[in-house]
Structure 1
């Protein structure tokens, strides 16, 4: 019996991983024995925590917002469906970099003006202070932009995953007297996660890479720290080689972890 291509591919020895691991170890040894590269990586590594914070926080908020938009898209009410479709199509049509600039320099100032107008009576009574644009840090503006930008894509992932659940199971749960929330929590979401997880993991890895865009706002992430060091030392080759190396370590490690999780889910489904 012939073995299908996906099954055969899974049984292949991951020589690419051996080569990538050997390259990573070789670079690590080279960096450890070079004073210049040690100085570069000690400077750039200060931005790792910011990159991780921006990615994890932005992805968590984007997933929550994306799930809400997906549920609106699947609503029985036409107004909610059309609102969700409008949001998804508009946000997906704007590049993330442009969205970063718009949120940072147009959206947040407009929000501050609107907030101050709405809360003017409270400010006059001395209950709260007027909000200033500078009160919203560039770090949080970047997180908001990534949240909005990725939520539209994640919403489509959730929508497709939820729609992949057999309608008969939902009807059977409804016949048993389960509430809408119970059906969603006990029947729909556990099965939808098997479909949702792979593309959702891909978006998480993509956000790790797109988090580098926040450097255009001056946020001190990996890329920004690399730019600062390179502009001061003129060691562009060494600096950006280390920047690429750190991002590769993050993204490849995440991809391997996600693949392992997918295989585990497939095995649990099969049993």
Structure 2
């Protein structure tokens, strides 16, 4: 109970809670759009932007590094879409190419600044946290940035909800009724990049895609209605964030981000097996029909 009242636990749990809920909603939209791994590609692609903006401004101010992450994440997304559209390389291959390429570029940038006399005056410690995440060391300003971005993202979703849903499930229909599909796709991309970028400090570029995918996968095994899926995904994400943060707080040596993902993954696995549309229920239905 003392941990639940501690300032550190409250700050971290609030940050991961907001990040989890907003990521569950936007991740569900990307999953239905058929680009479930786009968050993974963007997450890896943000790392060179973070290191590059550190090299330029020589500061680890979260808002500055966020802009760098969004810049290279957006460039990577643009290159993936262009390559998929105008080349014979399939989307999954393009995701792998640019994911590894941009992440490798980030590691090159990081190796450049190590031992470089030009950056001795600026603290480089903490940059590696954007690879694996370090939610336990998030500062109050990190959490405030997560809350602000999450509120903006959820507000954009509510404002463009009908248009986004029409675009995701039937792009041609959206065009015929006069919707600006280019603008809708840009809004969806902006929300995804913003969430991925702001969540790197908490869970890192490697695990951020799990925040986007797992809650929706879990919810899909309980309902087929989009409204219910978004609600269930948000609840699962929020519960996992708080419970994962609690477990990592009472057990030393457990990293917060991975513990949240493990909690979320466990709930998803149980749902895949025993959910309303899970493996066990489907097997029983097939047997009853035989």
- TM-score of the pair, normalised by structure 1: 0.30
- Computing the radius of gyration from Cα coordinates, the structure with the larger value is 1
